[in-house]
Amino acid sequence: MTLDAPGSDVGKSDAGESDVRKSVVRKSGSEPKLRGMDLVRPSLRDATYLDCRRRAEMIAEQAAKLPWVKNLLDVGGRGKPYACFFTGRVANHYVLDVEPAYSVDVVGDARNMPLSDASMDVVMITQVLEHIPDPIAVIGEIRRVLKPGGTLLLSVPSIFPQHGSPGDYWRYMPQGLQWILRDFHNVTVKGEAGTVPSIFLVINVYVDLLTSPWPWLRRLVEWTICPVNNLAGLLAARIYRGDQFASNYFVVAVR
């Protein structure tokens, strides 16, 4: 089965090409700022700059380690913000999301993915697992669609205000992540911003939250407190990063 746009001639599939989806998917485009901010190049004025910047760096580092692979799935990756890191390293970069968009290839539930077994070389799921009431089912589906030896890239919050839709159910710690990924191999868990930088990030986030009723005050904070805290966090990360306290964790695991 081919993976071309809807309406294409699906009878022109390459010989030996395995089914990736149980029905036709299309090749999506990238909308890197769809989520409201540039996740790859965040501004110093962004409250979550320190985590977003470090997450992008960690994804880029993992992408650089990849040999050329065929299929990557971004679960909940509407906007396809990290596509730039995988250009030339993956043949097909697919997005599965619950809502349709220009950047979405498959509309579906991560707990029951309409994808074939062992069809993906890499699965990436960033800041999504906390919004799903049954994360164990999602991890099971990720393991099912990954090829043996395939790579999982996962990012989840540990300390963060209630946010997002349709719900916000979970926060994660390193031992909990190790447990839910116990059927994977070579599981590594690292803080994104790290111990000391996360302190500055949490201050930013809560000041942003507290000033939200007053747009003029929130704007003032974005131009004053946030940049100062972010620069202080960058400096602190050079002195000591650590993982004892982290607002978000980044995981790499092997199927």
Domain ranges of the chain: 38-254
- In the sheet with 120-126, reading across from the earlier edge strand, the strands are 106-107, 90-97, 69-75, 120-126, 146-157, 248-254, 185-191
Fold of 38-254: Rossmann fold (3.40.50)
pLDDT range class, residue 30, cuts 50, 70, 90: low
Is pLDDT above 70 for 248?
A: yes
The pTM for the full model equals 0.86
pLDDT range class, residue 14, cuts 50, 70, 90: very low
Give me the percent of the chain exceeding a pLDDT of 90. 73
Instruction: Work out the mean pLDDT of the chain and round it to a whole number.
Output: 87
pLDDT range class, residue 240, cuts 50, 70, 90: confident
Q: What is the pLDDT of residues 78-127, one digit of tens each?
A: 999 999 999 999 999 999 999 898 889 999 999 999 999 999 999 999 99
pLDDT range class, residue 8, cuts 50, 70, 90: very low
Q: What is the pLDDT of residues 159-190, one digit of tens each?
A: 888 887 678 999 999 999 999 999 999 999 99
Mean pLDDT computed over 221-241: 93
| pLDDT given at position 239 | 87
Mean pLDDT computed over 194-212: 93
Is pLDDT above 70 for 235?
A: yes
